[in-house]
């Protein structure tokens, strides 16, 4: 009688421990997105303000540390942006920034002139403020948030 009871308790305890050990990786997998950094929400230093020409859109690469699963890529190109420096209403420099990815099917918005931007893939044209003028693009160019660091 004692041996049967001992085996039941031992089997129950052993299976509980095994279940808990198997649950740890499952819980870690489910909680992993909460621990991951959202790199897209970060601001990245792109260029000194004075290096940008006034009223001429300039395409610049965004360089930052990148990580794919277990591999780190220090100081690699993570994307690019169109930047336009302009003088604001109070004589202060302002920057407009747009994605270089076309809102239609994701080609690069390659060319910029004083008149605006063009995507050569399917001939979408955007004005100088990124507004869609013609072509299959379903919307204007995607504008990006800009934070100016005027102290440095
Ligand atoms: S991807 Fe740019 S117009 Fe189609």
Instruction: pLDDT tens for the chain, 152 residues: list them.
Output: 788 999 999 999 999 999 999 999 999 989 887 877 655 568 889 999 889 999 899 999 999 998 887 889 999 999 999 999 999 888 888 999 999 999 999 999 987 777 899 999 999 999 999 999 999 999 999 999 999 887 65
Ligand 1 proximity of 141 Cβ (cutoff 6 Å)? no
Q: What angle do CA 33, 34, 35 make, to 5 degrees?
A: 90
64 located within any domain: yes
Q: What is the pLDDT of residue 151?
A: 66
Q: Is the CB of 101 under 6 A from ligand 1?
A: no
How do beta strands 116-119 and 124-127 pair? Answer: antiparallel
Q: Residue 113 domain-assigned?
A: yes
Residues 53 and 126 in one domain: yes
The answer to whether residue 97 is domain-embedded is yes
Cβ-contact 142, 98 below 8 angstroms: yes
Residue nearest to atom 1 of ligand 1 (CA): 105
Asked if residue 146 is part of any domain, the answer here is no
Pocket test for ligand 1, best of 101, 118, 119 (most atoms within 8 A of CB): 119
- Bin 91: left if φ > 0, else alpha if -120 < ψ < 50, else beta: left
140, part of any domain: no
Cβ neighbours of residue 87 under 8 Å, at least 6 residues apart?
54, 93, 94
Instruction: Show the beta-strand stretches assigned E in the chain.
Output: 58-68, 71-87, 93-99, 111-113, 116-119, 124-127, 132-134
Number of domains into which the chain is organized: 2
> Residue 2: its pLDDT value, please?
86
pTM value?
Answer: 0.71
Q: Give pLDDT, residue 37.
A: 63
In short, whether 119's Cβ falls inside 6 Å of ligand 1 is yes
Q: Which domain holds residue 82?
A: 39-134
Per-residue model confidence (pLDDT) at position 152: 54
Domain annotation covers residue 10 = yes
How many Å lie between the centroid of ligand 1 and the Cα of residue 97? 19
Looking at the fold, whether 107 and 49 belong to one and the same domain comes out as yes
Round to whole Å and give the CA distance between 126 and 137. 9
d(Cα 57, Cα 114) in Å, to the nearest integer?
8
CATH, residue 98: 2.102.10
Residue at 98 is within a domain: yes
DSSP state of 141: P
Q: Which atom number of ligand 1 is nearest to the Cα of residue 123?
A: 3
CB 135 within 8 A of CB 104: yes
């Amino acid at each position: 009688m004692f041996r049967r009871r001992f085996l039941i308790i031992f089997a129950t305890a052993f299976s509980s421990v095994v279940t808990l050990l198997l649950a740890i990786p499952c819980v870690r997998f489910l909680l992993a997105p909460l621990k991951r950094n959202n790199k897209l929400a970060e601001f990245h230093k792109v260029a000194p303000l004075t290096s940008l020409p006034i009223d001429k859109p300039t395409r610049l690469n965004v360089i930052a540390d990148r990580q794919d699963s277990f591999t780190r890529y220090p100081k690699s190109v993570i994307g690019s942006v169109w930047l336009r420096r302009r003088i604001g209403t109070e004589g202060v420099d302002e920057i407009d920034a747009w994605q270089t990815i076309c809102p239609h099917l994701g080609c690069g918005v390659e060319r910029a002139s004083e008149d605006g931007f063009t995507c050569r893939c399917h001939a979408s044209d955007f004005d100088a403020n990124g507004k869609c003028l013609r072509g299959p693009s379903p919307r204007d160019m995607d504008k990006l948030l800009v934070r100016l660091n005027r102290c440095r």
